[in-house]
Structure 1
Amino acid sequence: MNQLLTAVLLLASSAASGKGLELNEKNYFSTPGLDVTVFADIYPDGHQTGVTIIQHGVRTAANGDLRLETSPGQWSPVPRGVGEAHVDVKNQRISQTLAYPDESKNRKGFNPIEYPDLKFSYQVHVEALEGNSVKVSVDLKQPLPDEWIGKVGFNFELFPGDLFGASYIMDEQTGIFPTQPNGPLRQVHGEWLADPLAMGDELVVAPEHDTQRMKIRRVKGGELQLWDGRTNHNNGWYIVRSLVPKGASKNAIEWIITPHVIDDWEYQPVIQVSQLGYGVSQAKRAVIEQDSRDTKTDPVTLLKLGSDGPEKVKTAKPSPWGSFLRYHYLQFDFSEVAEPGMYQLEYRGEKSEPFKIGPDVYSRHVWQPTLEYYLPVQMCHMRVNEKYRVWHDKCHHDDALMSPVNHNHIDGYISGDSTLTKFNPGQPVPGLNKGGWHDAGDYDLRVESQMGTVWLLSMMVEEFGLDYDATMIDQQKQLVEIHQADGKNDALQQIEHGLLSVLGAYQNLGRLYRGIIVPTVDQYVMLGDASAQTDNYVYHPSLEPGEVREGRSGTPDDRWVFTEENPERELDAVASLAAASRVLRDYNPELSQQALAAAEDLFVKAFAHTDKTGVKAFALAELILATDKQAYIDQLLSMQSELVENIDDTAWVIGRVVAKTRDAEFMQAINAAVAEQQAGVQKQAAQTPYGVPYEPHIWGAGWGIQAFGVKQYFVHKTWPQLADADIYVNALNFVLGVHPGSNTESFASGVGSDSALVAYGVNRADWSYIPGGVISGTALIRPDLPELKEWPFFWQQTEYVMGGGATNYMFLVLAVEALENNAGER
């Protein structure tokens, strides 16, 4: 009896205390309800790396690392990792060596960073303690120089979006996390920041919330400082910081972090369904996401919504799919349900958002917002009105000055030792103050986004007869009126708008531009009305600063136009120009002829200067369709072995012209290659419970999955016996809500029952959205957490972009609608 009682008491004690954090097979610390990762991610600029806390399935804190500033921004110095993290399973400890500077980013790369003259290395250690605590410590190889004391500290960032209105306790101080950053201000090493919210030895975060409560206790290092990092950067987080003391090296910083964990916590099932709905003939599969330890299947009930409330239509157990990322997945198929109406799914007391089943599910409120709102709002050089609202006034009428040479600018704009044109650096280039769309949540014009949009719109006109008029576009007055028809096809008017920019540059520069972008970071990060980004007067250095005379100003705020030698981008533009020339023949014959002439000229100049088979085939296919010239067909035939070898990149572009070759051997070789390629595509799609590949890098995978779906449409059109149409249907459903993670919203803003209404557009500072914009969507926090936060400053999750972000989505909707209509006819 004594032995039995002892065993029971030990078991009860173990259950009460919990097993605590332990290293798992994925090399992070984990216990039910809590995960701690250590430099598992690669993106400090986006608040994704360092010491990271995931409480109850939600990332609550991240980027724990040494930083050179109190509140770093996007272009602030970040360290480089030295080798892989060392995982010590025996001692339950992870260590990562890091160093400043990172030479791969120091004044070079896509977004060059200016590092100070400071070189040092250090290690960050994270060790599991008893219960749910971890010890975080920092060892410097040698003490910091005296001049850097008070500047270098260990920063640990708390995600603000879930803390607004929550409380904190710092020793005897208490307060509420403010919704907006407030003063008073102080100057900290040249930056204006709000005073710290609190300072002390122990911080308790959100003591009132069991799911978020966290204690941070300083053992060594400077006292804890709680800062609001949004004072100097809109996209900042709350920051807990401890300065490195003078002379410190070994154990310079030591904290104990103890997140609260709810006993026996388990991730609650999430029902993932299209927020819009399904066609009558369409396959209908919901995905259910459960805790990895929860492999039980319970019945799912399909409810039809009526005037007397929900009515049960079907109850059945879902099919187990298996493990993916950090969860267990089930699938529920209700494809046989065809009666039109509104429905919901219910599982274990949880209900999905309502969705529609019907033959007209795609006919309104789906792709239309992209054409009615998003594309007009992104239009550059125009005033864009929506009744009482002005989205933005006329902008960038001072476009553009020739860029400097030998200059590594921001956002991937780099110039060589020549402008590649007759224009000198700083010289105004005419013909650039018209047309084009702002690229994304910023205001530059990139050639690939302009041409990608032109091509997709052209395909929608050509493939699906897109003809829709809800917008007045007046190029003479440079005026757009949303929801005021003008008797013209909006899609053709938008194609025209894109060509005005690209052809304007081509005709004046003698080549394509790389893009047009503001000269300073301060302008680049500006949010609000695009017309305020520059003064709209062409710069002239002979005038006094700020002086304006005869359409010129003494303020050098004009955007710069960059050029480049890039045959791949030129051939992509060739394809888009050729496609646009076809659909504009009747609408704007002159512009159509100019587009085709430019396409053929660029083709001759670029074709021989790249070995990228995919873009060569793309250009050739579109030129064949535009001209029917035998010379282009012969060139395509001569590439047979290359096309077969690179069939992943070529199948979707040459399908529409294979029959035009009238060459049996060629067609047989391509058909065989496509059969093998499609077997690979279907295998790839089957690796996730969503029927599409999900492999995010930094940005969410939504845009890539849409592009994948568009390509699959074209392969299916030519080879329906080989290519599965379900794959591009699945791609659309992924965007509309059937995607991993607890946030199941539609990536298309304003589309479906629940959609992204806080997004990284040009109006993000207002926590707003642009209807019809499509966010990149659910990102992957390495190694295995799918995340889509309601936060307007995550470009990697909620950004809108041109060149495919919205128009690939629009194309997919039209493609799936056509598939549904054809099924109905059969």
Structure 2
Amino acid sequence: MKSPLKSSIKNSTKKSFFTWSLLTSAIAFSSLSFADELAINDKDYFEMQGLNVTVFSDIYPDGHQTGVTVIQHGSRIAANGDLRLEISPGQWSPVPVGGKQTVDKKTQTITQSLSYPDPSKDRKGFNPIIYPDLKFTYEVKVTALDNNQFKISVDLEKPLPKEWVGKIGFNFELFPGELFGKSWLMDKNAGIFPQQPNGPLVNPHGEFLTAPLAAGNKLIVAPDSDKQRMTIESKTGALELWDGRANHNNGWYIVRGVIPADKTTAALEWVVTPHVIKNWIYEPVIQVSQLGYGSQQLKKVVIEQDKRDTKASEIKIFKLSETGKTLVKKAKVEPWGNFLRYQYMTHDFSSITEPGMYQISYRDKTSHAFKIGDDVLSRHAWQPTLEYFLPVQMCHMRVNEKYRVWHGLDHQDDALMMPLNFNHIDGYISDGTTRTTFKPGERVPGLDAGGWHDAGDYDLRVESQMGTIWLLASMIEEFGLSHDATLIDQQKKLVEIHVADGKNDALQQIEHGLLSVLGGYKSMGRLYRGIIEPTIRQYILLGDAMVQTDNLPYDASLKDGEVKNGKSGTPDDRWVFTENNPERELYVAGGLAAAARVLQTYNPTMAKEALEAAKNIYRIAAPNTKKQDVRIYALAELILATNDDSYRKELISLQTEVVKDIAETGWAIGRVMPGMKDEQFTRAINKAVENYQVEVRERAKTESPYGVPYKPNIWGAGWNIQEFGVKQYFFHKSWPQFAGTDSFVNALNFVLGVHPGDNTQSFASGVGANSATVAYGVNRADWSYIPGGVISGTALIRPDLPELKIWPFFWQQTEYVMGGGEANYMFLALAVDHLNNAKGKKAE
């Protein structure tokens, strides 16, 4: 369930929500004083020791991330407090649009104006929402009371329409992951928060749900847990406690109060009392790589502390042996400063070079064991991505692993041409033409082979296919990647994990991706935008990809469910979308050129087809692009593939554009610079790279304690930091005099556990001492993972809480994706492995 990260979040209306200037100030704030009572702080949310209450600080309700939110003892326990049109809303349920926010420190009240519908989402946008014919405006007010209490009240501009009375209510969502097995009390009723939703079923207003757990006037959440205990008391009507997972697997527990008829002022009024442990303080977190470090590698531990805890204590580093721990170093950590809501300390222990297993202790905390050695990334690091994740994501194949079947043979009925003038889900939009000879609903041949399922869902995006292909090709060229742990048989459409077939898995994976991209190109004479299922019900499938369709080509002459002559009357075949997008086409052209280079010996026919397609696509798309960085990237790849001087001359003519956007162009052209015989061009590029790298080093020092430029947004930043690291590798390779190795080494360490928050998991599943083994993959309903998949990572709860929860349904924190999420990590692991081995040999 990818969210419109690059569209709706980027373009979302900010109407009085917190802006980037506030986020920036949150990163470098001065220490706050703490009162014993809840009060509005200088970042405009309520705070006291052990408790924070934010009021519409976030802008992401479909990700359970906005509204009235309670952060209790450093953990987000409740969120999304707002008026909703359903008892248990889902991803495509109507949400309001935010209006003016007023912060009144005199009355200690934060007021947020909201209204239905949201014009930017009503049947438009990345994930279009169908809104009912309902328009109303309201305000949610939160007021601090005595001690740790606050009041929530809702005022309506006018009474609800009669047909909506009883349907609209204030929903306050409780995070299930921290409440499973804990108890609740509701007036005279009591119970335990269940691990799974249980019947009986009820059907209020057409919503099939499990019956509410309880109803009453006062709810005590988790009376058996000091950290999560919270009392919610209604002053205006009954409270209902629902299990929102009954109709949405990613739902939360929901406390709901129905808005009554004929009432506007104080239509709802609750008093909420979260328990606060006296003198609670955030305990220090030791952040060190979950795998370890090369002997000569930069090694830095980061300590995260409560912002009031400014003491720099002693750190101890132990080497492990058969007799236990041996102290090898102790020293005081050095203060780094404030970032987000925490105080940070660091310590450089690069002087420890002796191979072995180590642990770090700080106060009463001890880290996981990690390795120091030049082979730390030589095994159990990048291999899971190539051995598990890429094979499991392969479409149009049956994927076996010994006794296990990851998924059966799938989507043999691909694909039908898209409908016209249609705003589909997940960013697929068509206009009035197919841009091909195929009519809407007509079968497009050549699409029933190859490709990888894009993410925690089953569509195939052309940029995901080509991003993976380019990175695999780059790993072959840069590091000589050759690894055989998988049998891939395209004739039998069969994959056997951990069965060698004598072929380089990376080349076989590139071939598999091209079967899809070139298959569509040859059939349609152009690239596809992507291939996706027609209905939301298919899209949200959690299970075997084989059952998303019936694998039989659709025949409109047959009745629904009828099967005849190998065809089916069930209209479940996926749709192929096309688009006019020169930038994406140029991105594909660059990947095709890279693939052609590495396939010349392995599959010369496919290599020739890929290069011809790359040149043709570039010829058509380049004159029409508005983004020159992707044109420059494609040019560089074509130069490497063809050694054609006409491409070099064209690149030289784009000198102004290269220099202007050197962060996005320099890394791409570095490998062709030795062949550029224009001194003016070379001088200009060298100077631009030098200036840019000064900026990179400065940002890495000042933006965060993690040694990489890092300004968190709502989404986990792991993928962006990995991509940055890969680009920095190419800057270093081509301009070592300007760009060092720290940037891409630190980017890998960030992914492997050196990142903010108390959850220091490796983002790469199955990699390291503690990794994300509950993730948003296609097997998320089983609370499971796919080895080698790389999650999005620690997200930001605005304005200043880093969060990575153990929860399989947060796509913004734990989703896998193709086209970079997995392969950028793999590239970095190989890059640092080669760096470690080179430094180790030099040290010898």
Per the TM superposition, whether the score is higher than 0.5 is yes
- Give the structure 2 partner of residue 801 of structure 1: 817
- Cα pair 1:272 1:287 within 8 Å, conserved: yes
Shift in Å, 1:664: 1.1
After the TM superposition, which segments of 4 or more aligned residues of structure 1 sit over 3 Å from their partners? Answer: none
Shift in Å, 1:611: 2.5
Which residue of 766, 776, 791 maps to 1:775?
Answer: 791
- Asked if 1:171 corresponds to 2:187, the answer is yes
Say which SS state the counterpart of residue 441 (structure 1) adopts.
coil
Which residue of 55, 70, 76 maps to 1:59?
Answer: 76
- Give the structure 2 partner of residue 517 of structure 1: 532
- Asked if 1:227 corresponds to 2:242, the answer is yes
| Equivalent runs, 1:25-64 vs 2, <5 Å | 25-64=42-81
Say which SS state the counterpart of residue 574 (structure 1) adopts.
helix
Shift in Å, 1:349: 1.1
- Asked if 1:752 corresponds to 2:795, the answer is no
> Which amino acid in the other structure matches residue 672 of structure 1?
K
- Cα pair 2:714 2:798 within 8 Å, conserved: no
- Identity %, equivalent residues: 66
In the TM superposition, what whole-angstrom CA distance separates every residue of 1:97-120 from its partner, at most 9, and x where no partner exists? 000000100000000000000000
Aligned partners of 1:537, 1:604: CA distance in 2, in Å?
A: 37
Which residue of 681, 699, 704 maps to 1:666?
Answer: 681
- Asked if 1:73 corresponds to 2:90, the answer is yes
In the TM superposition, what whole-angstrom CA distance separates every residue of 1:36-70 from its partner, at most 9, and x where no partner exists? 00000010000000000000000000000000000
- Asked if 1:333 corresponds to 2:348, the answer is yes
Aligned partners of 1:169, 1:424: CA distance in 2, in Å?
A: 60
| Equivalent runs, 1:384-783 vs 2, <5 Å | 384-686=399-701, 687-783=703-799
Shift in Å, 1:824: 2.0
- Give the structure 1 partner of residue 4 of structure 2: none
Shift in Å, 1:468: 0.2
- Cα pair 1:18 1:263 within 8 Å, conserved: no
- Cα pair 1:614 1:650 within 8 Å, conserved: yes
> Which amino acid in the other structure matches residue 113 of structure 1?
I
Shift in Å, 1:191: 1.4
- Give the structure 2 partner of residue 276 of structure 1: 291
In the TM superposition, what whole-angstrom CA distance separates every residue of 1:365-408 from its partner, at most 9, and x where no partner exists? 00000000000000000000000000000000000000001000
Shift in Å, 1:18: 6.7
Aligned partners of 1:215, 1:563: CA distance in 2, in Å?
A: 53
> Which amino acid in the other structure matches residue 424 of structure 1?
K
Which residue of 128, 134, 141 maps to 1:112?
Answer: 128
Say which SS state the counterpart of residue 156 (structure 1) adopts.
strand
- Cα pair 2:54 2:69 within 8 Å, conserved: yes
Structure 1: give runs of 5+ residues left out of the alignment: 1-16
Say which SS state the counterpart of residue 771 (structure 2) adopts.
coil
Aligned partners of 1:517, 1:611: CA distance in 2, in Å?
A: 27
- Give the structure 2 partner of residue 180 of structure 1: 196
Aligned partners of 2:209, 2:355: CA distance in 1, in Å?
A: 57
Aligned partners of 1:549, 1:667: CA distance in 2, in Å?
A: 65
Aligned partners of 1:259, 1:546: CA distance in 2, in Å?
A: 54
- Cα pair 2:220 2:229 within 8 Å, conserved: yes
- Cα pair 2:375 2:836 within 8 Å, conserved: no
Aligned partners of 1:572, 1:615: CA distance in 2, in Å?
A: 6
- Give the structure 1 partner of residue 152 of structure 2: 136
Q: What is the alpha-carbon root mean square deviation over aligned residues?
A: 0.8
- Give the structure 2 partner of residue 3 of structure 1: none
Q: TM-score, normalised by structure 1?
A: 0.97
Which residue of 301, 318, 326 maps to 2:316?
Answer: 301
Say which SS state the counterpart of residue 208 (structure 2) adopts.
strand
> Which amino acid in the other structure matches residue 481 of structure 1?
E
- Give the structure 1 partner of residue 17 of structure 2: none
Shift in Å, 1:724: 2.0
Aligned partners of 1:88, 1:517: CA distance in 2, in Å?
A: 48
Bigger shift: residues 814-823 or 477-486: 814-823
In the TM superposition, what whole-angstrom CA distance separates every residue of 1:7-60 from its partner, at most 9, and x where no partner exists? xxxxxxxxxx97210111110000010000000001000000000000000000
In the TM superposition, what whole-angstrom CA distance separates every residue of 1:259-281 from its partner, at most 9, and x where no partner exists? 00000000000000000000001
Shift in Å, 1:340: 0.7
- Give the structure 1 partner of residue 7 of structure 2: none
Aligned partners of 1:82, 1:357: CA distance in 2, in Å?
A: 53
- Cα pair 2:375 2:837 within 8 Å, conserved: no
Aligned partners of 1:644, 1:213: CA distance in 2, in Å?
A: 57
In the TM superposition, what whole-angstrom CA distance separates every residue of 1:214-265 from its partner, at most 9, and x where no partner exists? 0000011x31000000000000000000000010101100000000000000
Say which SS state the counterpart of residue 715 (structure 2) adopts.
coil
Aligned partners of 2:99, 2:40: CA distance in 1, in Å?
A: 22
- Asked if 1:156 corresponds to 2:172, the answer is yes
Q: TM-score, normalised by structure 2?
A: 0.95
Aligned partners of 1:386, 1:19: CA distance in 2, in Å?
A: 57
Which residue of 41, 47, 52 maps to 1:24?
Answer: 41
Aligned partners of 2:607, 2:577: CA distance in 1, in Å?
A: 25
Say which SS state the counterpart of residue 814 (structure 1) adopts.
helix
Aligned partners of 2:65, 2:621: CA distance in 1, in Å?
A: 39
In the TM superposition, what whole-angstrom CA distance separates every residue of 1:291-318 from its partner, at most 9, and x where no partner exists? 0000001100001111111111101001
- Cα pair 2:421 2:431 within 8 Å, conserved: yes
- Cα pair 1:33 1:57 within 8 Å, conserved: yes
- Cα pair 2:171 2:256 within 8 Å, conserved: yes
In the TM superposition, what whole-angstrom CA distance separates every residue of 1:527-580 from its partner, at most 9, and x where no partner exists? 110000000000010011111122210000000000000000000000000000
Aligned partners of 1:204, 1:693: CA distance in 2, in Å?
A: 43
> Which amino acid in the other structure matches residue 722 of structure 1?
F
Say which SS state the counterpart of residue 538 (structure 1) adopts.
coil
> Which amino acid in the other structure matches residue 329 of structure 2?
K
- Cα pair 1:759 1:798 within 8 Å, conserved: yes
Aligned partners of 2:828, 2:254: CA distance in 1, in Å?
A: 42
Aligned partners of 2:565, 2:825: CA distance in 1, in Å?
A: 45
Aligned partners of 1:627, 1:704: CA distance in 2, in Å?
A: 31
- Cα pair 2:629 2:657 within 8 Å, conserved: no
Which residue of 191, 194, 201 maps to 2:217?
Answer: 201
Aligned partners of 1:509, 1:18: CA distance in 2, in Å?
A: 67
In the TM superposition, what whole-angstrom CA distance separates every residue of 1:478-531 from its partner, at most 9, and x where no partner exists? 000000000000000000000000000000011000000000000000111000
Aligned partners of 1:518, 1:124: CA distance in 2, in Å?
A: 38
